[in-house]
Every structure is written in structure tokens, then in C-alpha cells.
């Protein structure tokens, strides 16, 4: 059972540089289904995720979690992983330390997380010399160690090749199986179908459609989503 979900967005807007980037979004994220945030480039997917995760404050409206301690119970993985100039293991233990985990526990939990994503053999290697795919896996290990209730992923495989993409998707499925709510943005329809249970379609900053995956894909209800699905490359 989740302590902090559902997450409610109440009439949330975000404006910057004179432009309205997210316009009056009202929705509720429930525990359970993996939520895919879909949309064209510039639709506002990244901003919406950052509003949900708390990296941005809404210009108007409210972002409300249901319980205490939401800060500590979520994690986010970005399109480009940001690693410290330390070993892979040290990057994970850093996150554990920030989360208040006792020193004695950190190394053990760190190794566990690295093993989970298949990086156990390079625990001592400097994180920054790892390949893009390995660094993204490391980012997921870092998130895994925190056992978050919600995992936000902002286009996590956009910079990776198909092989690395597959590895990342496997790990995301593992998070889902372990009970973490997945909220992921992507512009790959294939990825959305492989990983998602429901889709929120964003068009120019507005939530235009929301539907379970098998209802959305053969026939999106909104004209904007339909145009998007048609225009997207079939093999992406």
C-alpha cells in the first residue's frame, strides 16, 4: 500500500519567459499502473514531470501528495545521467547517505543495488568513464537503493542504442514488479506499449487525453493524439 499516492495535480499551470508551458493540468496519479506521459517535443513532458517531482514550483495550482515524507519516497532518472566523480558504488552510497541511511548499511545496500542492475562487477570503477548505457543503469541502481514508491523517468533511453535501451527497460520492469509506481515520459510509441499500463497525452501544455494503453493505441480518442500516433515512425 502506498503512503504517498495518489498524487493530485489541481489546476496546475507553469509559465516561464512569458510563455504558458503547462496549462491548467488537473489529474490524479494512482498507485499501481505504470503511467506513460506521451507527447511531441516541446509539449511540456519534462516540465510536467519536474512539477510532479517537486523540482519546479507551479505558477498556480497545487501539487499534493497524499502522505508525509513524499520527498524521500520518490526518485527521478533523467535523460542524461549525472554522476559524481567517484566510483560507481560511491555514487549509490552518496544517495543513501543523503537519504539518511546509516553508514554501516550503505555499502551493503549499494552492492545490492549494483547487483540488481548487473553492475556488480564494476563497483569500484570511476562512474564517469562508464558508457552511456552503464551510467543510466547506475542511475537506476541509485534509485533502486532508495526503494522509492514513485520512480519518475524523463526519456531515459532517448540517448541510448537499442541494446542499452533493452537493458534499461528490463530494469524498469523490475521496479514495477517490486511495487514502485512508474511515471515515464517518452516519445517512442513502442516503448510506451512495452512498459506502460496507461497513457497521459500532452499537447502544447494541456492534458488532452488519458486512457489505458490498450484503449489508446489502436484508436486515440483526441484528434491531436491521433495525429501524433499516425505521424510517429512505426518502428520507434
Partner 1 sequence: MLDALFSGLQLVATLDLQLWQIVALSLAVSLSAVALASMLGLPLGAAIAVGRFPGRQAVIVVLNALMGLPPVVVGLVIYLLLSRAGPLGAFGLLFTPKAMVIAQTVLVLPIVAALARQSVEDAWREYEEQLRSLGVEGARAALTVLWDIRFSLLTAVLAGLGRASAEVGAVMIVGGNIDGVTRVMTTTIALETSKGDLPLALGLGMVLIAIVLALNAGAHLIKEAAQRRYG
Residues found near partner 1 in the complex (CB under 8 A):
50, 53, 55, 71-72, 75-76, 78, 82, 84-86, 94-95, 98-99, 126-129, 142
Nearer to partner 1, 57 or 233 (CB): 57
Residue 129 beta carbon to partner 1: minimum distance, rounded to whole angstroms? 4
Grid cell locating 181: 509506481
Nearer to partner 1, 127 or 141 (CB): 127
Contact between 164 and 204 under an 8 Å Cβ cutoff? The reply is no
Q: Which residue in 190, 196, 187 sits closest to 166, CA to CA?
A: 190
DSSP track, 77-107: E-SS----SSBHHHHHHHHHHHTT--HHHHH
Residue 40 beta carbon to partner 1: minimum distance, rounded to whole angstroms? 22
Strands annotated E in the chain = 7-16, 19-29, 35-39, 60-64, 74-77, 150-154, 181-186, 198-203, 206-212
Nearer to partner 1, 85 or 230 (CB): 85
Residue 57 beta carbon to partner 1: minimum distance, rounded to whole angstroms? 12
Q: Left, alpha or beta for 207 (phi > 0: left; psi -120 to 50: alpha)?
A: beta
Residue 149 beta carbon to partner 1: minimum distance, rounded to whole angstroms? 14
Contact between 171 and 182 under an 8 Å Cβ cutoff? The reply is no
Residue 150 beta carbon to partner 1: minimum distance, rounded to whole angstroms? 12
Nearer to partner 1, 120 or 126 (CB): 126
User: To which residue does cell 502506498 refer?
Assistant: 2
Nearer to partner 1, 94 or 217 (CB): 94
Amino acid at each position: 500500500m502506498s503512503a504517498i499516492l495518489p498524487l493530485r495535480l489541481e489546476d496546475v499551470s507553469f509559465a516561464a519567459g512569458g510563455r504558458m508551458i503547462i496549462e491548467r493540468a488537473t489529474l490524479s496519479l494512482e498507485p499501481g499502473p505504470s503511467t506513460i506521459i506521451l507527447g511531441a517535443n516541446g509539449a511540456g513532458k519534462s516540465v510536467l514531470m519536474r512539477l510532479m517531482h517537486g523540482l519546479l514550483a507551479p505558477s498556480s495550482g497545487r501539487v499534493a501528495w497524499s502522505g508525509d515524507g513524499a520527498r524521500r519516497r520518490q526518485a527521478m532518472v533523467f535523460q542524461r545521467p549525472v554522476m559524481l566523480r567517484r566510483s560507481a558504488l560511491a555514487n549509490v552510497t552518496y544517495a543513501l547517505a543523503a537519504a539518511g541511511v546509516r553508514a554501516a548499511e550503505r555499502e551493503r545496500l549499494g552492492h545490492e543495488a549494483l547487483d540488481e542492475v548487473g553492475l556488480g562487477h564494476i563497483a569500484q570503477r570511476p562512474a564517469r568513464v562508464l558508457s552511456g548505457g552503464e551510467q543510466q543503469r547506475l542511475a537506476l541502481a541509485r534509485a533502486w537503493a532508495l526503494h522509492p514508491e514513485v520512480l519518475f523517468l524523463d526519456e531515459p533511453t532517448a540517448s541510448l542504442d537499442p541494446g542499452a535501451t533493452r537493458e534499461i527497460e528490463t530494469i524498469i520492469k523490475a521496479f514495477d514488479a517490486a511495487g514502485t509506481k512508474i511515471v515515464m515520459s517518452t516519445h517512442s510509441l513502442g516503448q510506451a506499449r512495452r512498459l506502460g499500463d496507461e497513457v497521459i497525452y500532452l499537447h502544447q501544455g494541456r492534458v488532452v487525453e488519458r486512457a489505458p494503453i490498450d484503449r489508446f493505441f489502436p484508436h486515440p480518442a483526441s484528434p491531436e493524439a491521433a495525429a501524433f500516433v499516425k505521424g510517429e515512425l512505426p518502428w520507434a
